[in-house]
């Protein structure tokens, strides 16, 4: 690397920092410019003199790469790196790095936060008690909803990467029977899980949790046909990618009691359009893409992103996906 200080631009720093994490350690590596957010039309003007660009969800397209002649390095503040045109970056000799496996336990934790909320109605009862419902109860407790025990229930997991495996381990600790759809041989899976074909997962399991990447093969894998296979009391959980679900089909299934509930942390378009059918669907519990965002996971993410950049500066790129 040249002795000239690097010009480093962070295009969308707020989602990671949230004003409770500092970028000071990046300042030690060069001239640092931080933008909380960047609109598409502002990307080229903002990075035209940058050797290093850090992005989370801001797209770095072929056009942007071709109009950024000084660009040498793109650091993606996420595990997924589809926001970068990898082929174009590679052809221009640009290193692209990602941050794998930083949020494994945070994502698995949200799966069960959603699941326990659905089966135990925690938020519902807490709100009722703020309104005085318990104070007027004739008995020491009251049951306005059915409560469900998870032990013995069948959990189906689609995709057995880091988060899928962590989810399986937690499910087993709760006494659940775990079934998985995965190309991995049994020796690479948690002990005690059973492999099934994907349609059998939907047909046999009480809960189906998605943990696979979004590809041409997995797009809309949750659709009307598979939802019709499910038990009426079944629950769908998606903390992976919004495009895995046909949202219109899922909304129809919920509103017509084909399945009992859904919990989603991701949608096909984020932020969602106001007319997204899941926003008004019955028994659909939606969180705003927060599974990754615990303070602990964000600290890990920033630390690895920093190490990736240091490794690049040292001439030994780490987590390089443009190879």
Give catalytic status of residue 270 as yes or no: yes
How many domains in the chain?
2
Residue 323 lies in a domain: no
CATH number at residue 203: 3.40.50.720
Residue 94 and residue 72: Cα distance in Å, rounded?
5
Residue 256 lies in a domain: yes
Check residue 323 and give its pLDDT: 84
Q: Does residue 114 share a domain with residue 213?
A: yes
Q: Does residue 300 share a domain with residue 220?
A: no
Residue 112 lies in a domain: yes
Backbone torsions φ then ψ of 11, nearest 5 degrees: -85, -30
Both structure tokens of 1: 């690397």
| Residues facing residue 6 across a β-bridge | 30
Per-residue pLDDT of the chain (323 residues; tens, 9 = 90+): 556 789 999 999 999 999 999 999 999 999 999 999 999 999 999 999 999 999 999 999 999 999 999 999 999 999 989 999 999 999 999 999 999 999 999 999 999 999 999 999 999 999 999 999 999 999 999 999 999 999 999 999 999 999 999 999 999 999 999 999 999 999 999 999 999 999 999 999 999 999 999 999 999 999 999 999 999 999 999 999 999 999 999 999 999 999 999 999 999 999 999 999 999 999 999 999 999 999 999 999 999 999 999 999 999 999 999 88
Q: Does residue 168 share a domain with residue 87?
A: no
Which candidate in 114, 241, 247, 298 is catalytic? Answer: 241
Both structure tokens of 315: 């001439």
Both structure tokens of 267: 């949608």
Give burial (CB, 10 Å; 0-12/13-18/19+) of 136. exposed
Nearest to 322 by CA among 100, 90, 98, 91: 90
Grouping H, G, I as helix, E, B as strand and the rest as coil, residue 208 is: strand
Which candidate in 46, 121, 226, 289 is catalytic? Answer: 289
Which candidate in 27, 127, 149, 270 is catalytic? Answer: 270
Q: Does residue 235 share a domain with residue 302?
A: no
Residue 147 lies in a domain: yes
Other CB atoms within a 10 A radius of the CB of residue 190 amount to 18
pLDDT digits (tens, 9 = 90+) for 154-176: 999 999 999 999 999 999 999 99
Mean pLDDT of the chain: 96
Residue 23 and residue 45: Cα distance in Å, rounded?
22
Sheet holding 52-55, edge to edge: 30-34, 6-10, 52-55, 73-76, 95-97
Give catalytic status of residue 241 as yes or no: yes
- What is the domain extent for residue 66? 6-102+295-313
Check residue 2 and give its pLDDT: 53
Q: Does residue 155 share a domain with residue 257?
A: yes
Check residue 1 and give its pLDDT: 52
For the chain, where are the alpha helices, taking DSSP H only? 14-17, 24-27, 43-47, 62-66, 86-91, 104-120, 122-130, 162-173, 198-204, 224-229, 247-255, 295-313
Check residue 150 and give its pLDDT: 98
| β pairing state of 177-181 and 30-34 | unpaired
Residue 321 lies in a domain: no
Q: Are 183 and 161 in contact (CB under 8 A)?
A: no
Check residue 5 and give its pLDDT: 82
Residue 40 lies in a domain: yes
Backbone torsions φ then ψ of 177, nearest 5 degrees: -90, 125
Residue 192 lies in a domain: yes
DSSP at 272: P
Give catalytic status of residue 46 as yes or no: no
Residue 291 and residue 166: Cα distance in Å, rounded?
14
Give burial (CB, 10 Å; 0-12/13-18/19+) of 131. exposed
Q: Does residue 148 share a domain with residue 246?
A: yes
Helix H or strand E segment including 93: none
């Amino acid at each position: 690397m040249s002795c000239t200080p690097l010009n480093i631009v962070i295009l969308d720093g707020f989602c990671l920092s949230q004003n409770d994490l500092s970028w000071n350690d990046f300042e030690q590596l060069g001239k640092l410019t931080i933008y909380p957010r960047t609109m598409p039309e502002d990307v080229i003007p903002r990075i035209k003199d940058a050797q290093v660009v850090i992005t989370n969800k801001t797209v770095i397209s072929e056009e942007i790469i071709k109009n950024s002649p000084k660009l040498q390095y793109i650091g993606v503040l996420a595990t997924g790196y589809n926001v970068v045109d990898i082929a174009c970056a590679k052809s221009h000799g640009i290193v692209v790095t990602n941050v794998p496996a930083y949020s494994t336990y945070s994502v698995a934790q949200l799966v069960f936060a959603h699941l326990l909320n659905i089966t135990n109605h925690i938020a519902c009862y807490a709100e009722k008690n703020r309104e005085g419902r318990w104070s007027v109860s004739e008995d020491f407790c009251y049951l306005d909803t059915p409560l469900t025990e998870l032990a013995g229930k069948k959990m189906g997991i689609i995709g057995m990467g880091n988060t899928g495996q962590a989810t399986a381990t937690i499910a087993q600790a709760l006494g659940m029977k775990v079934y998985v759809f995965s190309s991995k041989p049994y020796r690479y899976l948690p002990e005690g899980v059973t492999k099934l074909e994907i349609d059998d997962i939907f047909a046999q399991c009480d809960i189906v949790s998605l943990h696979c990447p979004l590809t041409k093969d997995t797009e809309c894998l949750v659709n009307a046909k598979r939802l019709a296979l499910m038990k009426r009391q079944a629950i769908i959980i998606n903390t992976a990618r919004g495009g895995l679900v046909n949202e219109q089909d899922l909304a129809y299934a919920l509103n017509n009691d084909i399945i009992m509930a859904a919990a989603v942390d991701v949608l096909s378009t984020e932020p969602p359009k106001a007319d997204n059918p899941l926003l008004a669907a019955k028994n659909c519990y939606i969180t705003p893409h927060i599974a990754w965002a615990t303070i602990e996971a964000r600290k890990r993410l920033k630390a690895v992103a920093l190490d990736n950049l240091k490794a690049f500066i040292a001439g030994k790129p780490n987590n390089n996906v443009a190879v």
